[in-house]
Amino acid sequence: MMKNTRVLSLENISKRFGSVVANNSVNIDLYRGEVLALLGENGAGKTTLMNMLFGHYIPDSGSIDVLSYEGQMEPLTLGHPQASLDAGIGMVHQHFTLAENLSVLENILLGSEKIWAWRHNRSNARDKITKIMNRTGLSAPLDEEVGKLTVGERQRVEILKALYQEVKILVLDEPTAVLTPQEADTLFENITAMTKDGLSVIFISHKLREVLAFSNRIAVLRHGKKVGEIPTSEANERVIARMMVGEETIENPRKKMKIGSPVLQLNGVSSKGDSTRTSLNRTNLTIHKHEIVGVAGVSGNGQSVLAKLISGLAEPDSGELLIDGKNIKYFSPKEMQSLGVGRIPEDRHHDGVISAMSVAENLIIERLHDKDVNNKGFLQNKSIKKNAEELIEKYDIRGPGIDANTALLSGGNIQKLILARVFECMPNLILANQPTRGLDLGAANEVARRLLEARTRGAGILLISEDLDEILELSDRIMVIHDGSLTEAIDVSREAIGLMMAGEKA
Ligand SMILES: Nc1ncnc2c1ncn2[C@@H]1O[C@H](COP(=O)(O)OP(=O)(O)OP(=O)(O)O)[C@@H](O)[C@H]1O
Ligand SMILES: [Mg+2]
């Protein structure tokens, strides 16, 4: 590998948003053929830094140099995404940026081809994408509308789109947050192969296992500052955790518990849901008080219908669903909420928060009928503010303040906001759908701690997650979902569950 040619150099980059210092004099170099992992707690400034590289934000100070096609380091024109693209920098964003009403193929072409050329170039483009898919092991249905894809599939399209543009420097902001462990491994193996052809990669991740397995070098940000940089060969989980939070993290103590009465029963439930493609077939599932049941599976195998049923967003076509022994006839989110169902949605930006509303408002959004929040149609600003201040403190939600738009919070901090809202309602049944996706170590531990706390209190928890380590760590029982069917895992080893996820019969 040609490790010594520098391809990118960020020099003294600083960026502030009001009172928040998102980046503070950050220096980072990147070499040809290298995979650099950028780590740090939620809100540490990782996405902001990469957005400046990509021209979405202009730094308050500092400069960026990129190796030109002629072989010289040249200053990048800042604040111009097109200049970054022209310089060969591609970015896959933490949050999806695809056009939902266009097909996968059209989305991949968007931005790199002239619209009039689409028709002529389609078959060429299709060949080129198919080649990339074969080489990387990333697959996506090219003619499907993006709006119909699962989150996992959308993420693959985002990556394919960047690869299609033949970038020299690829930035991936939490690319595997929505992939299965196997898909993630495949992705990285193929990225590693592409670095042999000279691609340089910066990836942001909270998953230390993949960082240790697939990066060459690790840089860590804390409160906007670069606090460390080491070759991966000299790193281990402990070292990185200490760099990130300045102290070691605590593991969750976990006791065996006696289960109580059922809080959720699905008896032979079949459901098509609505727009999702995998329906649920004659599903049986029981969750008791004091129990966490984990559902492992590759995204797109029926998880979303299962989650929608329990959220009141879909109905069974046959079979029955009981909550606390009560047979549910009328399905709506409000009904489910009034029955004590708390929900941590999979897509926090779409279903979790209203980004145009303030942090304080989002924290009371499910309590709009409570007197202390809404008195005869008048919002009680004082108590809304007090509520927000308490919860921000209790759940360690960091950001530009309670009156700021929720859109301005980092991914992890939005998740903390949702958790605060759910856990404060003391639900009997918690639907935790990818609850730690994109969270840093500390925040993920905090979610685990709170789920275990709810279990101790007597809640039943349905944990849907693509992170097998998380399922193994937290679940009392494990079910595997494949092609719309749920099967209980008797052998709970990583390997056995991985095979069931791939559709092999136990
Ligand atoms: N446009 C903005 N306006 C105001 N504050 C912002 C804006 N963008 C980011 N911030 C703040 O800057 C800080 C850094 O955010 P950033 O998104 O870079 O964090 P991150 O390291 O990517 O976190 P995560 O791991 O949660 O994605 C956060 O406190 C965030 O709330
Ligand atoms: Mg981020």
Q: What is the DSSP string of 447-485?
A: HHHHHHHHHHHT-EEEEEES-HHHHHHH-SEEEEEETTE
Is the C-beta atom of 397 inside 6 A of ligand 1?
A: no
H or E segment at 73?
Answer: strand 73-75
CA 7 to centroid of ligand 1, rounded, Å: 26
- Same topology, domains 6-245 and 251-340+427-506? Answer is yes
Per-residue confidence band for 2, with pLDDT thresholds at 50, 70 and 90:
very low
Q: Give φ, ψ of 20 to 5 degrees.
A: -85, 125
Please report, rounded to a whole number, the percentage of residues in the chain having pLDDT higher than 70: 92
- Say which DSSP state 408 is in: G
Per-residue confidence band for 247, with pLDDT thresholds at 50, 70 and 90:
low
H or E segment at 118?
Answer: helix 118-136
Q: Given this model, what pLDDT does residue 202 score?
A: 97
Best substitution site from 14, 39, 48 to test ligand 1's pocket, by max atoms within 8 Å of Cβ? 48
Q: Of all atoms in ligand 1, which is nearest to the CA of residue 41?
A: 25
pLDDT digits (tens, 9 = 90+) for 85-122: 899 998 888 677 788 899 999 899 886 665 555 566 77
pLDDT digits (tens, 9 = 90+) for 434-462: 998 878 878 888 889 899 999 999 999 99
Q: Give CA–CA dist 393/401, Å, rounded.
A: 11
Q: Domain 251-340+427-506: which topology? A: Rossmann fold (3.40.50)
Q: Give φ, ψ of 260 to 5 degrees.
A: -105, -150
Please report, rounded to a whole number, the percentage of residues in the chain having pLDDT higher than 90: 46
442: which 2 tokens? 């500390």
pLDDT digits (tens, 9 = 90+) for 196-229: 878 899 999 888 888 999 999 999 998 899 999 9
Q: Give CA–CA dist 435/346, Å, rounded.
A: 7
Sorted by where each begins, the domain ranges of the chain are 6-245, 251-340+427-506, 355-425
Q: State in words which class domain 6-245 has.
A: alpha beta
Best substitution site from 15, 20, 208 to test ligand 1's pocket, by max atoms within 8 Å of Cβ? 20
**Is residue 259 over pLDDT 90?**
yes
Nearest to 153 by CA among 193, 112, 195, 108: 108
Q: Given this model, what pLDDT does residue 248 score?
A: 47
Neighbours of 77 (CB within 10 A): 13
Nearest CA to ligand 1 atom 10: 408
- Is residue 493 packed enough to be buried (19+ CB in 10 Å), middle (13-18) or exposed (0-12)? exposed
pLDDT digits (tens, 9 = 90+) for 348-394: 777 778 878 888 888 887 777 777 777 887 777 888 899 899 999 99
Q: Given this model, what pLDDT does residue 196 score?
A: 85
Tokens 């690790």 label which residue? 218
Is the C-beta atom of 442 inside 6 A of ligand 1?
A: no
Q: Give CA–CA dist 453/17, Å, rounded.
A: 35
Q: Of all atoms in ligand 1, which is nearest to the CA of residue 23?
A: 14
Give me the mean pLDDT over the 291-317 stretch. Answer: 91
Distances (CA, A) of 408 to 29, 32, 355, 428: 28, 33, 8, 31
Q: Given this model, what pLDDT does residue 219 score?
A: 97
Is the C-beta atom of 40 inside 6 A of ligand 1?
A: yes
Give me the mean pLDDT over the 256-282 stretch. Answer: 87
**Is residue 67 over pLDDT 60?**
yes
CA 271 to centroid of ligand 2, rounded, Å: 35
Higher pLDDT: 457 or 124? It is 457
Q: Give CA–CA dist 269/285, Å, rounded.
A: 9
Give me the mean pLDDT over the 412-435 stretch. Answer: 91
Is the C-beta atom of 399 inside 6 A of ligand 1?
A: yes
Q: Give CA–CA dist 171/39, Å, rounded.
A: 13
CB 432 within 8 A of CB 404: no
**Which residues, in sequence order, are CB contacts of 386 under 8 Å at separation 6+?**
none
CA 424 to centroid of ligand 2, rounded, Å: 26
Give me the mean pLDDT over the 477-484 stretch. Answer: 92
Q: Given this model, what pLDDT does residue 89 score?
A: 93
Is the C-beta atom of 162 inside 6 A of ligand 1?
A: no
**Is residue 307 over pLDDT 50?**
yes
The winner for highest mean pLDDT among 190-194, 365-369, 440-444, 480-484 is 480-484
Average pLDDT, the chain: 87
